[in-house]
Amino acid sequence: MKPAPFDYFDPSSLQEALELLADLSWDASLLAGGQSLIPMLNMRIARPSALIDLRRVPGLDRSDIGADGIRIGAMVRAASLERSVASSDSAPTCLRQALREIGHPQIRNRTTIGGNLAHADPASELPAVFVALGGTMTLVSKDRGERSVPAEEFFQGVFSTAREPDEILVEASLPTYPGRTAFVEVARRPGDFSLVGACVAAVLEELVAREVRIAMCGTGDRPRRLREAEAVIEGAVLSAERLRELADAVSAGVQPRSDLHASDEYRRAVAGVMVRRALERISGVPS
């Protein structure tokens, strides 16, 4: 199908974009890479009366990977970040792994980090990475200026975030994490949305795990930290038995729903397996 008619604006500055959005907010959609929005327009699931295209807004397509963390402009394409991350020593492994799971290469050439995060698909990979590592979203509005929202508060439900209708997500950032990280997921085919994905991070001294972070995608209405499961291995010596215990805690701690692609029981079982597998990769402990 084809999109329904809409008014199209392509402002050339952030200020102009914010003014347009303040005027039109309830009925306008922001267009970034369009890899989720345009399918919705084509299927007429979304029928905004106006589109504000951010492609000409300067400065949103820069990313900075440094020793004090990563700052990613909202219009940075996933493929471009993938290349930056590949050539950096300080980028967390889980980010590199999660980026490769976003759609197909043909999609990653267009899809943007800001669009991916603001869309807040519960099966989406990057939100889980930002929640696990304690990322921050920077939002700007015409009337209230800039504010920072922790990733855990930003994601509020299915396709739902803390972004107000007059706000633009301009940047997402990740602090440095002192330990090792991994992102693993299961999907039916390469490029498909994850059925279940896990982002796991831990600081390991010998085999004692500290600063443990676990966040899942595909197992609920939004990515969440699994703090009870994290506590199972926090300060503990990792062993095959301990990882099995962790997997059980993860399965008990998620509330997935059945859909066309997988049942809730399957997702619950696989959630534990994904976390166990991610920790195996980080620690080298076979289970």
Partner 1 sequence: MTEARRIRLTVNGRPREVEVEPRTLLSDVLRHHLGLTGTHVGCEQGSCGSCTILFDGAPARSCLVLAPQAEGAHIETVEGLAGPEAEAIRRAMHEAHALQCGFCTAGIVVSLVSALRDGIGQDEAAEQVLGGHLCRCTGYVNIRKAITAAWKQGANP
Q: Which residues bind partner 1 (CB under 8 A)?
A: 1-8, 10, 31, 34-35, 38-39, 41-43, 51, 53, 55, 79, 100, 103-107, 109-110, 189-191
Distances in Å between the alpha carbon of 81 and those of 51, 105, 110? Answer: 25, 13, 12
> 49 vs 258, which CB is nearer to partner 1?
49
The minimum distance between CB 5 and partner 1, in angstroms, equals: 5
The minimum distance between CB 50 and partner 1, in angstroms, equals: 9
Please count the residues of the chain: 287
Contact between 215 and 181 (Cβ < 8 Å) = no
The minimum distance between CB 201 and partner 1, in angstroms, equals: 25
> 35 vs 194, which CB is nearer to partner 1?
35
The minimum distance between CB 9 and partner 1, in angstroms, equals: 8
> 119 vs 222, which CB is nearer to partner 1?
119
> 103 vs 197, which CB is nearer to partner 1?
103
For the record, the structure tokens of 6 come out as 């809409």
> 14 vs 79, which CB is nearer to partner 1?
79
The minimum distance between CB 7 and partner 1, in angstroms, equals: 5
The minimum distance between CB 123 and partner 1, in angstroms, equals: 15
Strands (E), the chain: 7-9, 28-31, 50-53, 63-66, 69-73, 136-141, 145-150, 155-157, 160-161, 167-174, 180-186, 196-205, 208-217, 224-225
**Among 64, 6, 1, CA closest to 31:** 6
Residue pointed to by tokens 């919705």: 40
- Could you tell me the sign of the dihedral formed by the alpha carbons of 159, 6, 76, 97, in that order? positive
> 48 vs 256, which CB is nearer to partner 1?
48
Q: DSSP string of 26-88?
A: GGEEEESS-TTHHHHHHTTS---SEEEE-TTSTTTT-EEEETTEEEEETT-BHHHHHHHHHT-
Contact between 166 and 143 (Cβ < 8 Å) = yes
> 78 vs 149, which CB is nearer to partner 1?
78
The minimum distance between CB 155 and partner 1, in angstroms, equals: 23
